[in-house]
Amino acid sequence: MARARKTALLLLLATPAVMWAQSPRTKSGSATAELESCRIRRITGLPGSHNFASDFLEAIATAPGADRTSAAGDSADALWGLTADLSSQVSPQEQALYISKSTDGGATWTELARIDSRYFNAKISEGLRNGLAVSPGGTYFIITTQRGAFQIFPRTNPAAPLVKALTGPLTPDSPSVSSAKKPGEPVRANALSMTADETRLFIGYGYFDLEPQLFSYRKSDDGSWIQDVPPALLPMDQDILSMEFDNSANPHLLYVGTGDQAYALDLPTRKWTMVDGVGPDSAIHSMTLAGGLHIAACWGVYNPVNALAVTRLTHARFLLHRNSDDIGPNIRAYSIDVDPANPAREVVTSLTGVYTTEDRGDTWRRLNDLPQQEFRSAHLNRDGSVLVSGIAGTFLVNPFAARCSPTLKQRRK
């Protein structure tokens, strides 16, 4: 059954190869003017070749504990992004992963580190499930790839960062499931989460590779992360897709989203609890703890009830398929972000586009001016603008300004 679910999930995550025309590069002041005039602005300042999918932010991260409700300051506005320039039009020697930083909500980006092909494998589904974690203050990063997990220390030359491999599981001589890896090679790493006090790091391994495993790490005297006492055994055999540490109300809880359900690990007691209210066979693609546990999954979006329970937004009238008239609560959601200063505002990216709500999910609107493609990641900025990204590229939008309100596209039968 677990293997069948993995196969089904792989089909769900298949990404269409769609191109979107690039617009000229503009300055951040111009971006502000475009947002104020309700124009969708495509972001083209990310590093790399700008060929297919190289402007897709596979991961958007903030420093753990960063307060997006604070009045001002670089730390409140700082974003970090991970992109993968793996197009077939780029030579293998030039293919790379990039870590970049923005301090203006994603309008402009500065390249911090270029990670070359020694640390990833573009031939076996690299890119879509890479993870990124940022240290407090943004002094170093943790990334996950097909070749494991790595600690990245930027240097003056972005092309020459210091890279340290984290100890992780290796492919056994006789893999228990079909694997593209050879015996002794690192198992793929994917979801990860770091505590705000920088004392604990958790990384999930085995996405479509081997049976899922959760590793715990602690800081050594030289600042490196080393393997710690293993956490409690996972209560299921489904792939780990997402992970979030509650750095606010319940700092002892680690939330783990799998290919079937969401779970909470109580670190002091080492006890797992399945989050109540999630539907069956729900691939938990993304979670956020802003204002409580919010979940983006197949097939639905969930809002918090309490620390260990959520409720499905059964009255959300999402557009299911762009080429049909059917609408309803089912949606293949990939990410969710919530405005911590105004938790009624939520942004969801999905197979069918980007949706926003200003009433905690009672009503939703679809951003129809974006390319007609799926979107994977989003970040809600303090000024109300939203950074969204998918295979079609990365865009800044302003959906919460009254004059910019989009409408849900519906078709007559």
Of the spans 127-141, 167-181, 266-280, which averages the highest pLDDT?
Answer: 266-280
Secondary structure (3-state) at 366:
strand
pLDDT of residue 21: 33
Does the pLDDT of residue 409 top 90, yes or no? no
Residue of higher predicted confidence among 324 and 201? 201
Predicted TM-score (pTM) of this structure = 0.86
Residue of higher predicted confidence among 368 and 380? 380
Q: What is the phi/psi pair of residue 392, to 5°?
A: -70, -15
The closest alpha carbon to 218, from 232, 228, 230, belongs to 228
Residue of higher predicted confidence among 121 and 21? 121
**pLDDT band, residue 24 (cuts 50/70/90):** very low
Does the pLDDT of residue 412 top 50, yes or no? no
Q: Which of 250-264, 285-299, 343-357, 391-405 has the lowest mean pLDDT?
A: 391-405
Residue of higher predicted confidence among 318 and 100? 100
**pLDDT band, residue 215 (cuts 50/70/90):** very high
Q: What is the phi/psi pair of residue 320, to 5°?
A: -75, -50
Residues 6 or more apart in contact with residue 163 via CB below 8 angstroms: 115, 119, 150, 151, 152, 153
Q: pLDDT tens digits for 273-322? A: 999 999 988 999 999 999 899 999 988 899 999 999 999 997 776 655 45
CB 324 within 8 A of CB 336: no
| Over residues 223-248, mean pLDDT | 88
CA distance 304 to 300: 13
Domains and CATH numbers, the chain: 2-404 (2.130.10.10)
CA distance 382 to 66: 12
Does the pLDDT of residue 8 top 70, yes or no? no
Secondary structure (3-state) at 315:
coil
| Over residues 213-219, mean pLDDT | 94
Q: pLDDT tens digits for 43-96? A: 999 999 999 999 999 999 998 877 766 554 556 689 999 999 998 899 988 999
| Token reading at 63 | 């420093």
